[in-house]
Structure 1
Amino acid sequence: MVLETSTTVNSKIEIVNFKTLSKDSFVEIIQENRVSLYRLSKSILKNEADVQDAISETIIKAYTNIYKLKLMDSFKPWIMKILVNECYSIIKKHKKLELVDDFADYEGSYEDKTEDNLMFYVNQLDEEFKSVIILFYYDDISIKNISIILNISEGTVKSRLSRAKAKLKAMMENNLRGDSFE
């Protein structure tokens, strides 16, 4: 990937000139983050079509506004924030629609094809807990950036992480004993 970069003398922070970023380079950056984008959107939206719509809209918005981004290190939290906003926008649109037919038969289902058994339990969590677990452990995003992405305080992120871990532990212990979880 070819990016025009310059380094500030004092802070040694890489600054990327996104105004000269080629389409191919942008596509490469998106490809590097596609799993994270999918995982987060799937944790918020349950319908596969909505997930794809949210990701598509996020990519379009990111590409048209890339010139606003100054630091390459900020790209992932920045695009994840756009994605979260798109997901909630889709949820709001669905709440406004009044459906006369039952579309339950048409909804897509999500199966995690990875060997990760923990993801089975993560998917059982409420959305507020699932999102912070996925962002923190699967996407390696800092608590500070998660608070920005989800528009909640850092204390709330820490609290949700702690509560989510406790719930996961309880679910796994119950499963080992043969109990149903909840």
Structure 2
Amino acid sequence: MNLELDARLAKQGDKEAFIRLVKSLELSLYRIARSILNRDEDCADAIQETILKAYHAIPKLKQESFVKTWMIRILINECRKLLGKRRGMVLTGEIPETAALSVEFDRIELKEAVEKLDDSLRIVITLHYFEDMSLKQVAAALELPEGTIKSRLHRARQSLLDFLQPKAEGDYAHGIH
């Protein structure tokens, strides 16, 4: 399965190629949406809107090699729109989600630590480490300078270290964190 080839075919109107393209990116799109929105219903809405917009706009895609970054950028914009709408609503009675059960405790701990990061740091970590995107690709997807991405990645790593490092008993008594 070749993203670039499917993108080229989809640009020419091949619906099956577009479906293959979406299927090959759907897990990445979900993970990214989840890292921004935190709620599955919102993730589904953002992904659905992303797919619809990408379908209509794919003939305008300039470089097929950037199709993943292009779709991620559309998704991020959709997630931001949903967040903006959500901020205008008053949520009542919302039950916080619990972490999924997993055999790998360390992975749960890492996931929880990543979820505690500020939005701007969490998305950089998700794109770079979980989606295997280069700094340049992350910068393009978020429409930010590469230096900003490097800085956020550094801050995110530091925060994750702080979350994950076991604290010595005396540290709490002396106020050292």
Query: How high is the TM-score relative to the length of structure 2?
Result: 0.80
Alpha-carbon distance in 2 for matches of 1:70, 1:139: 22
The one-letter code of the counterpart of 2:73 is K
Question: Is 2:165 the partner of 1:165?
Answer: no
* Cα distance, 1:19 vs structure 2: 3.1
- 1:17 Cα deviation after fit: 4.9
d(CA) in 1 for partners of 2:3, 2:149: 33
User: Residue 125 of structure 1: which of 117, 122, 129 is its match?
Assistant: 117
Return closer, same or farther for 1:27/1:129 CA change in 2, 3 Å cut-off: same
SS in structure 2 at match of 1:104: coil
RMSD of aligned C-alpha atoms?
A: 2.9
Q: CA deviation at 1:138?
A: 1.1
> Are 1:46 and 1:109, in contact at CA under 8 Å, matched by a contact in 2?
no
Larger helix percent: 2
Q: Percent identity?
A: 35
Amino acid at match of 2:116: Q
Q: Partner amino acid for 2:39?
A: N
Deviations, residues 135-158 of structure 1 (Å, cap 9, x unaligned): 011111121221222222211100
Whole-Å separation in 2 of the counterparts to 1:67 and 1:134: 28
Offset of 1:119 from its aligned partner?
2.4
Any idea what SS the aligned residue of 1:123 has?
Answer: helix
The 3 A distance-change label for structure 1 pair 22 and 110 is: farther
Q: Which runs of 5+ in 1 are unaligned?
A: 6-14
Residue in structure 2 matching 1:102, options 81, 89, 92: 92
Provide the rounded CA distance (Å) in 2 between the counterparts of 1:119 and 1:40: 13
Q: 1:54: which partner in 2?
A: 46
Alpha-carbon distance, 1:59 to partner: 0.5
**What is the aligned partner in structure 2 of residue 111 from structure 1?**
100
TM-score normalised to structure 1 length: 0.78
| Cross-structure match for 1:33 | 25
Matches of 1:150 and 1:78, distance apart in 2: 10
